[in-house]
Structure 1
Amino acid sequence: MVADLLGSITLPSGTVYDGQTPEQAAQEVLRGAPGGLPVLRRVALAWVQTRRRKVITHVLATTPLTREAVGRLSCRDPRAEVRVLPTMRVLKDLTEVGRLRALVALQALATGETAYIEGGVVHPSAPPALSQIP
């Protein structure tokens, strides 16, 4: 699933607020699934230290969804349309950062592991400082 925002393909995203889990945040980003978005598990965790703060991105996988089920979903951003597109098209259209997250997440989904990306570098496991993140 991707968000088509005025012709720009992105991975659906949103903020995880204090006291909220990434799975709860995902429910707010993509709405419309009967019973809520069927989150399977976190497949990637990426972080980058900016000048002011550390930005942490959780990439979650859902259980398989039909095109009909995806068609019922809507993004928090009303300008975006949730779409199912061929993987190669999505990878071509994503930014370099988005492409890395998507490829690493797909590999982690296939291997049953969680991938960790720090500042654009893929690591085999989470550093101790991130092992506390829910």
Structure 2
Amino acid sequence: MIGVSLLVPVGPDSLVVADLRELILIPTGPVYDGQQPREAAHSVLRGAKEGLPLLRRVALTCTRMRRRKVITHVWATEPMTREAVGHLEYRDPRANVRVLPTMRVLDDLPPQGRLRFLVALQALATSGTAYIEDGVVQPSIPLELAQE
């Protein structure tokens, strides 16, 4: 199972989130067979006049479950304005797109999501790409997963 998450900064201290009935989520979506993660990232949030200003992949996580492996590519966009974010719609129509302070988002995420979020923010700040395997930050991305 492969998915993408989006880290969308707004100003110096806020992020775009999906608010699904008071459940705060980092915008996330699936990567379908034959689809590139970058392409999938564009379909998570719709409504940007010229498409999402994707910057780069900032993190990759792999989690082994009982019967499958879950791979999540975390993409960051260039900073967006509140006005531009006001036009965005999440792929799940039940959720509203909101802008919240980064620290509030951090407080609302579950532990595994919090780790992915913090590592992705650090990678964005340092121009790196982080790799997390089964909840442990690793020194590098394995070659077979390095392709975007």
Write the mapping of 1:39-118 to structure 2, written as runs, cut at 5 A: 39-118=54-133
How far apart in 1 are the matches of 2:135 and 2:24? 20
RMSD: 1.0
Say whether residues 1:11 and 2:26 are aligned partners: yes
Compute the displacement of 1:97 (Å): 1.1
Q: Secondary structure at the match of 2:33?
A: coil
How far apart in 1 are the matches of 2:137 and 2:51? 31
The amino acid across from 1:125 in the alignment is: S
Compute the displacement of 1:108 (Å): 0.2
Quote the residue 2:137 is aligned against.
Answer: 122
Quote the residue 2:13 is aligned against.
Answer: none
Compute the displacement of 1:71 (Å): 1.0
Compute the displacement of 1:24 (Å): 1.1
Compute the displacement of 1:89 (Å): 0.4
Compute the displacement of 1:127 (Å): 2.2
Compute the displacement of 1:84 (Å): 1.1
Structure 1, unpaired ranges of 5+:
none
Compute the displacement of 1:128 (Å): 3.3
Compute the displacement of 1:129 (Å): 3.5
Structure 2, unpaired ranges of 5+:
1-15
Quote the residue 1:21 is aligned against.
Answer: 36
How far apart in 2 are the matches of 1:53 and 1:78? 28
Q: Secondary structure at the match of 1:77?
A: coil
Give the paired residue count: 133
How far apart in 2 are the matches of 1:123 and 1:74? 34
TM-score, structure 1 normalization: 0.95
Compute the displacement of 1:130 (Å): 2.1
How far apart in 2 are the matches of 1:88 and 1:64? 17
Q: Secondary structure at the match of 1:14?
A: strand
The amino acid across from 1:65 in the alignment is: M
Q: Name the structure with the higher helix share.
A: 1
